[in-house]
Structure 1
Amino acid sequence: MTDDPVITNLLTVLDANPELLPVRLSVIELLAANGRHAEALAHCATALAQDPSNGQVAALLQRSTAALAGAVTAPDQSGTAALASADGRESQGNGRESQGNDYDWDAAEQQIGNIIQPAFVNDKTEVYVEGDVGLFEKPKLTLADVGGMEHVKAQLELSLLGPVRNPELAKAFGTSARGGLLLYGPPGCGKTFVAAAVAGELGANFYAIEIADILNWYTGRSEYNLKQVFRNARRKAPCVLFFDEIDALGHKRSHLSGSSSLRSTVNQLLTEMDSMTSDNEGVYIIGATNHPWDVDVALRRPGRFDRMVLVALPDPEARISILRHHLKDRPIEGIDLPAVAARTEGFSGADLAQICKSATQLAMADSIRTGTVRPVRMDDIAAALSQTRPSTGAWFESARNVVEFANNDGSYDELAAYMRARKDR
């Protein structure tokens, strides 16, 4: 069986970033659609280890198991396959898409037109579907809603917010907000939240894109999706265009020698971001990555992701804010947030969320045993703390190597200073 190029590309991304669950879900879908159910099962096992409660993974596991047992009928003669993407939307393959590069995606888009319809509105954001890629939001949160992280806020003010708010002053000093801003740091530390807060601060639309929104197994479709993303963002300016896990989409091309399709996608991203060839006025591009050292060097040249901001582990004030957020809708009693924050130095925001969840489960289990509802208390937090370890150790090991041996141009001086302050070097 000939390997599908998109599956090969996605597997290349997973080799470098095994924690990307949306990408793994896309791989499982594609493997299942190609009849490669044994391989799909192996990836299901890995995905369940990452997120045991994920209903989509469980459904894929059942589907692949049934197929191997002979319970699934053979595909029809046309080879048509219905695929559910990582976010649950379905796309139906057909003869039109199978034409690959010969198909004029732009002409089709002009014929069909762009349909923008309200999707839902809640008390936090106003969200709109735009075309068939990604979602627009109108965040109501601002940087004032981000607890602590004063250094990050100062960096954002200097590199993006200041020039946007004071265009004449920025012009006088020869600076601008054009190009892109790269947020990097350990996983689970709030990079997406910060990006949404920037959009709220600017009163701009927030357009969040993941790699699963871009990559497609039909030849040329990934590049089209990326072109459509920028086209939509320009139409909805002012807009913060946010690329999560940008290292997966903009991976070093030198590492993609066997993945011509993914190389073409990286080239398309370079073209769309190039200020000389694209009109991105009012489009503020923010990327987030745990591994900035894997981002293609061309993406970090002037006019692209030329400014980097370290979003590190939450400081004490940020930890208090995160703990308060995750406990606010739960019955609590006698929780000393500053004391908990003091005991969680080195924990990421995701780690703190897990502590709150575990403590709540302990209180609930006790309530079930006694038949009397009781609130979450400090002893539950202490028990949850004893079961939770900081999850960012491996990241700091990788970062230490980069700081020591791959910082010749000074790109990671901020990271080096942070690690020295933490005594990680």
Structure 2
Amino acid sequence: MNFKDLNIIPPILEGLNKANYTNPTPIQEQAIPAVLAGRDLLGCAQTGTGKTAAFSVPIIQLLSEKPSVPRQGRRIRSLILSPTRELAIQIADNIKTYSRYTDIRCAAIVGGVSQKVQERALSQGADIIIATPGRLMDLVNQKRIDLKSVEILVLDEADRMLDMGFIHDVKRIISKMPSKKQTLFFSATMPPEITKMVKTLLVDPVKVEITPVSSTVDRIEQSVYLLENGKKQHMLNHILQDKSIVLALVFTRTKRGADRVTRELTKVNVTAQAIHGDKSQNDRQKALNNFKSGVTRVLVATDIAARGIDVEELSHVVNFNLPNIPETYVHRIGRTGRAGHSGMAISFCDKEEMPFLKDIEKVIKKSIPEVKDHPYPMTSAPAFVKNSKGSKAAANNSMTNKPAKAKKNPARKPKSEWFTKQGKAQNSNFKPHKSKSSKVNKKTI
């Protein structure tokens, strides 16, 4: 099947051809006809499956078939909500590409950049706006944006918006729109809160589910290194000695961690830049552009940027820190293996992160193979570690090859004997709890 078979109008087909789109992906093949028919849609699909075109192509066509009334000016007729600035900008760029031969205009409304620039774009008129919830609420409250003419609403990466605490903003934004509208809802995972939201927002939706919820793309090769504490940076430096790794996206848990990893990579002559919430939008966009163009070899990111980084030929994703939310792992590694390419997802795990690894394997329903041949193995393994085939095995005791048995607690005396003379005689060294430390504590308090 090609895009012509989906009854897409010639101007949009021309834009798709310019972007080298020939055959629709499975989600595009199922979603586009449903959206063109005016149906609400629930899309459950992994990142990297082509869902941006799945909702934006039919929206462009529907709005093109009903042009704005000249006397009324351009009204915002479609709103696309995105959890991150990077993803919003990426969606806007894609829509501009698909709609270049139509009369449709779009604008990105995101935080971290000048509001005046966005006000100017709005004053010139936009049929579609792609926005992050925070900045959009600011402009709505300032009466700079009117959502009363919205005909099509898209919630993209809804589960991520839930994780980032945007759900209340989203509900307030929806209350500013007409109750009668077409709603397209996309989420890679379906936690209970999202399921409740779907029931309240969608009317008789068409459900498109391309892969099982929280599954990982088959063409991504996954592996894990069990490392001694404090050796992750050494392991990353060691891995990046392989010159075949042209581009690598490294995820850290914190902003300070991202900056620290970037500094350490620079010390060993690896070009790296960090991208996280403390960076200005201009700095984040510059770092992303440098990464896409190959000027920067390693991009170090926190999860705030996990769903807005779209590099078609990204070969490696490295989890420097394992996420404590298993679904986040799915979104992270989904940055590679895109557009039909293969990819590798490498994870570092120390003793404290072993519970996170177990949770991730439960969610993805597979064991992640362990790489054992490396210079920084975990020497003091926890109660359960993984063998080379990824199965669980008891940690070996150094003398007996059996797990060490826990010592039994001594039997407790009954309370009646706690303060007997015999008890005091047996504990002649006992002193009241008025130690030096307690005096220090009093002074401290």
Q: TM-score, normalised by structure 1?
A: 0.30
Which structure's residues are more often helix, by fraction? 1
Q: Which has the larger radius of gyration?
A: 2
